[in-house]
Chains A and B, each alone.
Chain A
Amino acid sequence: AMDTDLSSQDRKDLDKFIKFFALKTVQVIVQARLGEKICTRSSSSPTGSDWFNLAIKDIPEVTHEAKKALAGQLPAVGRSMCVEISLKTSEGDSMELEIWCLEMNEKCDKEIKVSYTVYNRLSLLLKSLLAITRVTPAYRLSRKQGHEYVILYRIYFGEVQLSGLGEGFQTVRVGTVGTPVGTITLSCAYRINLAFMSTRQFERTPPIMGIIIDHFVDRPYPSSSPMHPCNYRAGEDNGAVYPSVEDSQEVCTTSFSTSPPSQCVFTVTKAHFQTPPPVVTDTLKVPVMGLAFSHQLSSSRLSYQPAALAVGSADMGYPLLFAGGLTAAHPHQLIGPGKEGGVPPVPSQPAHGTQADQERICTPLDGAHYSAVTPSSSEDTETVSNSSEGKCGSPHDLLETIFVRKVGAFVNKPINQVTMANLDIPFAMFAPKNVELEDNDPMVNPPESPDTESPLQGSLHSEGSSGSSTGNTHDDFVMVDFKPAFSKDDILPMDLGTFYREFQNPPQLSSLSIDIGAQSMAEDLDSLPEKLAVHEKNVKEFDAFVETLQ
C-alpha cells in the first residue's frame, strides 16, 4: 500500500532524487575530509549536474566508489548507505573516526509533494551536511593530515557498523526528509575519545603511539570494500580512468611516523648527485655489518616512491620522528619533508631493538668527511658542525640520512682512522676539523711522529709507543702491535689488526646510557634545527654516498 498513492512519475522522480542525493552526500563528506578548503561558485544558470541547486563538485573516483557500493540500489529500510571515515598512521595502524549514515525508515509522508517539497528539503539537508561536516572532530584532523597520518574513506551499503568507533561514541543528526516511501535520515556517529588526540598532539608531544594503540582494534567485520584516501587529487585525473584500489592506497601512504622520543631523523630529497670517487663503492663492502645493512635499507628505500602529498607538505621543516622501539611488526616507513611537496621515502627500519641500536648515517661530503650523528648526544652535534664548517661545499637545501642498525664495531666517538680522504665510509664517526688530507691520515700513512690532529690519531700513536693513552677518550684502548693472520684488506688501506683493535672496544653508546623514556621529544625537536643546519652543510657527502647506493 505504500506506493499506491504515488504516481509513477513521482516515483521515478523520487528514486532519482534519492539516488543523486546519496551520491552528493558522499561527495560532500569525502570532500570535507580532503584536508583542503572547498570553494565552489554560485551561478545563476544551473547546469545539469547542479543537483539540489547546490554547486557540489563531483570527484569522479568518489562517484565511482559510491555507485559501486550502491550497486544500483537505493537506501531503504535496513539498507543504509554508510561512509566510513578513518585515520591511518604511517605505521599502517588505522582507526575509525566517523560513520555517516544515510538511512531510510518506514515513516511515510504521503501528503508531501515530491517534485517540490522533497527536492527542496533534500537541498536543505545537503546544506546542513555541509555545515555539520565542519564541526565534528574529524574535520580538524583531516585539515592537518598528510604528515603523520592520512584520512581514508570507505563506502558500504547494508547494515550500519558502529562498533569500530570505540566506546562512548556520539551521534549528531544532520536532518531528515519525509517522503511518500519513507523518511530519509542522515546522521553521523563519531568517536569522541580522539578529542584529546587533537592535531596538537601530533605536533608537539611524545608517546602518541600510546594513545593510538588504545584505539586500534581489529576490525570486527572484515570488509570487502576497500579504503580510499580522501585526499586523492581528482584534478589530476582525466576522469575517465579510475585508479585501482591498490594504486590509490599507494598514493595515500605517504606519511610520517611518530614515535616515542628516541632519535630524530631528518630526511630530505637530494638536490642532485655528486660523482663519488670510485673507491666509495668498494669501501661499502668493507666487512662492517652496518654498511651492508645500510645498503639494504637504502635499496628498499629507493624503490618506494610515494606520490606527492596533499597541501602543506612543501613547507615542512620539522623532522620526522623515527619510530624506534615500537612493537610494530612491520618496517616503518619514514618519510620526511621534501621539496616542492614531494615526499621522499626514508629507509625502513625494523622496529626491534632499542633506540640505541640505531645510528644515523650521513653520507660523506666531497669524499673527505664522514660524519654521523647519534642525535641523543649533543656533543656529537657540535663535532659534526665543527667538521662541516671545515669542509662543506655549498650547502644544498636538503640532505639525506639513513638509519642503520647499530653494529658493535661502531663507536660514536671520533674514530679517525676511518676519516680517510677519498674513502666514503658511511659509518658512525666524526671527522675532526682539520684532518683533510690523505697524508694526515694515520691509516694511510701511519704517523711517525705524533700527529694530534685527531684524537684517535693521537691515541694510536701514543698507545703504540707508550702503551698508555694520552689525550684520547678511549681509555680502554690498549694498543697491541701485532700482525694478524689476515693482514691486509686491499679495499681498506689499513690492516685488519688495526681495524680490529680500533673497533674492538667501543665505548658505550651515549644513547644507551640515557633513559630513553626520560627524554622529551620537545628537547629533541628543539635541537633539530641546529642539527638540520649541520646536515645541510654536509649534503654533498650525503649525496655522494647515496649515489653509490643506487
Chain B
Amino acid sequence: GPAGRSRSAMNCRAEVLEVSVEPRQVEEAALAVLHTVLLHRSTGKFHYKKEGTYSIGTVGTRDVDCDFIDFAYVRVSSEELDRALRKAVGEFKDALRGSGSDGVGQISLEFYQKKKSRWPFSDECIPWELWTIKVNVVNLANEQERQICREKVGEKLCEKIINIVEVMNRHEYLPKMPTQSEVDNVFDTS
C-alpha cells in the first residue's frame, strides 16, 4: 500500500468476494462488483446553504450489459467514476496477465475517512470499509466451455450482488455525512 499513510485496522470491516473467470471476463466482473458497491456508497454532491442547511444532489443510474458474461448490472451515472474504475481495473487485468496463464490476483476498494491532524503529523486515513475481489483466472479449451462459463459467471455475479446488498443492509458504521470528508476510494492492486 501507499507509504506515509497510517492505517488503523480497527473498526474497518472487510468483505471478500471471490470469482473464477476467463481472462476476457476479468474486467467486466470486477467492474460489476465495484460499481455495485459504489452505487450504494455514492451520494449526490453536498451543497451547503445558509443557516446550516444543505441539500444533496441527485444520483442517476444506468444499466450496463456485459459483453463476455451473461450479466447486467446498475451503476451510478458518472462518467468520471466509470473512467476511474476502468482505469484501475485495466491495470489490474494487465498485472494479472503478466503473472502467467492461470493467475490469481485481487483488487480492493477501500473507503476511508480523513482525519485532520495537527502539524507535524500528517492526516490520518482511517479506513472504515474494505472490499476485496479475489480473481481466479481460468483458461478454457473450447467454445462450448466458454459458453457455459458465460452463464456460470453470470450466475455467480448474481450471487455476489446479493451478497453485497446483504452487507449494505446491515447498516453498520457509516461515517456521518455532514462531517465526513468526500467519500473517497483507494485502489490497491496486488
Q: A and B bound?
A: yes
With beta carbons under 8 angstroms apart, the residue of B45, B61, B78 that contacts A54 is: B61
How distant is B96 from chain A, measured CB to nearest CB, in Å? 25
Per a CB cutoff under 8 Å, which of A121, A127, A136, A175 touches B39?
A127
| CB contact between B61 and one of A121, A130, A143 (< 8 Å): that residue | A130
Tell me whether B162 and A42 are in contact (CB under 8 A): no
Contact B169 A176 (CB under 8 A): yes
Q: Which of A32-40, A153-161, A325-333, A522-530 interfaces with chain B?
A: A32-40
Within 8 Å by CB of B74, from A120, A134, A140, A176, lies A134
A44 with B72: CB separation less than 8 A: no
A134: which B residues are within 8 A, CB to CB? 63, 72-74, 161
* Cβ–Cβ contact A40 & B169, under 8 A: no
Q: Nearest Cβ in chain B — how far from A33, in angstroms?
A: 12
Interface residue? A508 (CB, 8 A): no
Q: Does B141 contact A (CB under 8 A)?
A: no
Could you tell me if B166 and A173 are in contact, using CB atoms closer than 8 angstroms? yes
Q: Is the CB of A43 within 8 A of B57?
A: yes
A38 to B65: give the CA distance in the assembly, Å. Answer: 11
How many A-B pairs fall under 8 Å by CB?
114
A147-185 toward B: CB 8 Å interface, digit per residue (1/0)? 000000000000000000000000011111000000000
Instruction: Please measure, in the bound complex, the distance between the C-alpha atom of A47 and the C-alpha atom of B177, giving whole angstroms.
Output: 21
Q: How far is the CA of A174 from the CA of B158 in the complex (A)?
A: 13
Kindly state the separation between the CA atoms of A54 and B62 in the bound complex, as whole angstroms.
12
B9 within 8 A of A: no
Would you list which residues of chain B between 10 and 44 have a CB under 8 Å from chain A? Answer: 36, 39-40, 43-44
Contact B57 A46, beta carbon cutoff 8 Å: yes
Q: A54-B58, A128-B165 provided; 6 other pairs, C-beta below 8 A? A: A39-B62, A42-B77, A45-B58, A55-B61, A121-B171, A135-B157
Give chain B residues whose Cβ lies under 8 Å from the Cβ of A194: none
A42, A127, A130, A174 pick with most chain B CB within 10 angstroms: A42
Which of B44, B55, B70, B164 has the most CB atoms of chain A within a 10 A radius of its CB? Answer: B44
Question: Shortest beta-carbon distance, A193 to chain B, in Å?
Answer: 15
A176 cross-chain contacts in B, Cβ below 8 A: 169
Chain B residue contacts of A209, Cβ below 8 A: none
Shortest beta-carbon distance, B35 to chain A, in Å?
A: 9
B116 at interface by CB-CB < 8 Å: no
B47: chain A residues at CB < 8 Å are 44-45
> What is the CA–CA distance of A148 and B184 in the complex, to the nearest angstrom?
46
Contact A53:B40 (CB < 8 A) given known A46-B57, A134-B63: no
Question: Which residues, 140 to 190 on B, are CB-close (under 8 Å) to A?
Answer: 157-158, 161-162, 164-166, 168-169, 171, 177
Given A128-B165, A134-B63, A140-B70: A44 and B57 within 8 A (CB)? yes
Known: A128-B165, A175-B169. A46 touches B58 (CB 8 A): yes
Q: Report the Cα distance A46→B47, complex, angstroms.
A: 10
A53 and B41 CA atoms in complex are apart in Å by 12
Q: How far is the CA of A132 from the CA of B57 in the complex (A)?
A: 24
**Cα–Cα distance between A50 and B44 once the two chains are bound (Å):** 11
A124-B168, A128-B168 known; A42 vs B59 contact (CB < 8 Å):
yes
Q: How far is the CA of A143 from the CA of B63 in the complex (A)?
A: 12
List 16 A-B residue pairs with CB atoms under 8 Å apart, sorted by A's residue number: A38-B61, A39-B77, A42-B76, A46-B44, A53-B56, A54-B59, A124-B169, A127-B39, A132-B165, A134-B63, A134-B72, A134-B161, A139-B72, A140-B70, A143-B72, A175-B165
Query: From residue 47 to 73 of chain B, which have CB atoms closer than 8 A to chain A?
Result: 47, 55-63, 65, 70, 72-73
Q: Which of A1-60 contact B (CB under 8 A)?
A: 37-47, 50, 53-55
The interface residues of chain B lying within 8 Å CB-to-CB of A211 are none
Q: Which residues of A contact B61 (CB under 8 A)?
A: 38-40, 54-55, 127, 130
Q: Shortest CB–CB separation between residue B95 and chain A, in angstroms?
A: 28
- A466 CB to closest chain B CB (Å) equals 61
Number of chain A residues close to chain B: CB under 8 A: 35
Q: When chains A and B are docked, how far (Å) is the Cα of A45 from the Cα of B40?
A: 20
When the two chains form their complex, are residues A42 and B161 in contact, meaning their CB atoms are under 8 A apart?
Answer: no
CA gap between A125 and B47 in the complex, in Å: 23
Whether B45 and A44, one on each chain, are in contact in the complex, defined by CB atoms closer than 8 angstroms, is yes
- Report the Cα distance A51→B65, complex, angstroms: 26
Count of interface residues, chain B, beta-carbon cutoff 8 Å:
35
Which of A42, A125, A127, A139 sits near B57, CB closer than 8 Å?
A: A42
Q: Nearest chain-B residue to A39 (Cβ)?
A: B62
Q: How far is the CA of A40 from the CA of B61 in the complex (A)?
A: 5
CB contact under 8 A between A37 and B63, given known A43-B57, A128-B168: yes
Q: Mark A102-146, 1 if CB is under 8 A from B, else 0.
A: 000000000000000000110011011011101110011001000
A427 to chain B minimum Cβ distance, whole angstroms, is 45
A43 vs B74: C-alpha distance when bound (angstroms): 17
Q: Are A131 and B60 in contact (CB under 8 A)?
A: no
User: Distance (Å) between the CB of B15 and the closest chain A CB?
Assistant: 15
**Is B58 in contact with A47, judged by CB distance below 8 angstroms?**
yes
Closest 8 CB pairs of A and B: A135-B158, A37-B63, A175-B169, A55-B60, A39-B62, A40-B60, A42-B60, A44-B57
Cα distance A43–B72 in the bound complex, in angstroms = 24
Q: In the complex the two chains form, what is the Cα distance from A130 to B177 in whole Å?
A: 22
Residues of A within 8 A of B78 (CB): 42
Residues in B neighbouring A45, C-beta threshold 8 A: 47, 55, 57-58
Which A residues between 443 and 493 are near B, CB-CB below 8 angstroms?
none
Neighbour of A44 across the interface among B44, B62, B73, B157, CB < 8 A: B44
**Is B162 within 8 A of A43, CB to CB?**
no
Structural contact, B43 and A37, CB atoms closer than 8 A: no
What is the distance, in angstroms, from A273's C-beta to the closest C-beta of chain B? Answer: 41
List the A side residues contacting B45 at CB < 8 Å.
Answer: 44
Q: Which of A51-81 contact B (CB under 8 A)?
A: 53-55
**A39 & B57 in contact (Cβ 8 Å cutoff):** no
Chain A contacts of B162 at CB under 8 A? 132, 135, 172
CA distance A127 to B36 in the complex (A): 9
Residues of A within 8 A of B43 (CB): 53
User: Do A175 and B168 have beta carbons less than 8 Å apart?
Assistant: yes
